Structure 1
């Protein structure tokens, strides 16, 4: 998978996740929305691969971000760039997409 696709997938995952410094909680419907977006970004990704990636990303975000940070990532009125970068870096490091592991 190209780096651009990986970054888009990480950004998509991060945008849909609520983040908190002391273990936040993801919004309802996160997994379904993440899987759908992951497959839009990477057409080669199966539903099973997208589900595993999104589940991993969700757990990592919940563990490392606060509720306020997670809410910021899910915001419709702008996202803090540093919070987004932290989320992208974390998801990329902890949860590489299955299609990349060949």
Structure 2
């Protein structure tokens, strides 16, 4: 943990599910802004995929969560970024995965 002191951490997650098409552009701007303001070069930017949440659908349906996950995947085109997959770590009744240890391991 000592190596993480002073490193930025942000939890945006589901706040963008109402407009998933804007996610990649907004995150690119955030990453570029932080890198410029902190003058630390092309520092790594890691993020966590939206976890699974809510009941499983048995028929095909539009999903803003799936669209946002695609935007998260597309964000990997930004240099020095990485995404921890978490779709399998979600809870049907809680938006925040209870298994935070595996989320952390995947980020490591």
Report if TM-score (shorter chain) is over 0.5. Answer: no
- Structure with the largest fraction of helix: 1
Q: TM-score, normalised by structure 1?
A: 0.35
Greater RCO (Cα-Cα under 8 Å, separation 6 or more): 1
Q: TM-score, normalised by structure 2?
A: 0.34
